[in-house]
Structure 1
């Protein structure tokens, strides 16, 4: 074990921050660490928007489902898949847009953008937490991407994927136990023993139920499978495909 591993294993989401803005040095360090992440074929298919303006943060908090910590934090980052830069690169090289449009509008390159952004964000998180800061990912921005895009003035082929609240923690919540490693890690091939998986999930359910009982002083005792099943039976953000088409990122 070392300090980096300790930082990673001590991760938890923070939803209450002290009223202390990040310094420019902290912001720059976090972004540089994000950029140090691996990127597919050196394409760097992502951008990061730092949101400082209080009015914009307030609006994004509303669009994300009235999550007040989107507004009240040390700094708010938005990670985007970005293929606009690659259109500009083609123009710089004098390559006609019709020669690259199939690639720019492919599902594969959109996936590369999502993966690149996620890798960069995780680097940013580890950097921030190693500095004693807390973080919280915000997927709620995807509740209304057309309005988020207006607030952030993102051009075609740029998709805001998720936000990241960063700041000085004003709470120390308990840490949620992850799935058993045997339920996640397979060797050589995907294990097909469903009875084994279900038993592991049943055991995990007991741990998670106990976690919620203690966290809520007995008011809640949901299991993990109960939580995820409830979410899967309620489709959300079903407009996404149409939105991606509207900004010239059709999935094909």
Structure 2
């Protein structure tokens, strides 16, 4: 490689800025065309994960973990835009996902607790938003992490709430770390629900226009509920999840 070439130098310094986005479900081999290389290419859908036409359903038995390098390019910044379309089936304090360093320190994560969304950007460092995912409805949203600010966008950008981190976060994710989907660790409660879309974009993307990035079927979520009656009704609160405030909901890492 000629490192003096301008275009190549930009690619090496800012790999995410040239990326159109990462489809996490596809990268993990959970939906769509599976990647030709990587841990998921020779494996079936993990136990506890049920594919359906427009996405996947995570049950209590789901266990999905992969190296960060299979999801994001090496040197990826913690400045990211998450575009999500999902429906929770059980009320608990589960993480939707967590990125942990090789030393098991939490670098990035999103947790759903009753009435709140908690976004972690660093070990035990977080901000929270008043938003209830556990209502049995489909939710399309975007979470933008940029600099010292985290913003939650809903209603296709018509509603937005900002939260300041008040601390210096890590600039890059550990390429030797792990990506856990639906849990913070093997002993924690599992996210249970349907996921239509989970995409990661550079934070420079227009977050307030996130619906432009939503897949067509995810914009009409209630029209494609899979024919799995036992899973669709909102399940009762997990008995192991006591009533919580955002501070009480932070798990032991």
TM range (shorter): under 0.3
* More helix, by proportion: 1
* More strand, by proportion: 2
Q: Which has the larger radius of gyration?
A: 1
TM-score (norm 2): 0.25
TM-score (norm 1): 0.25
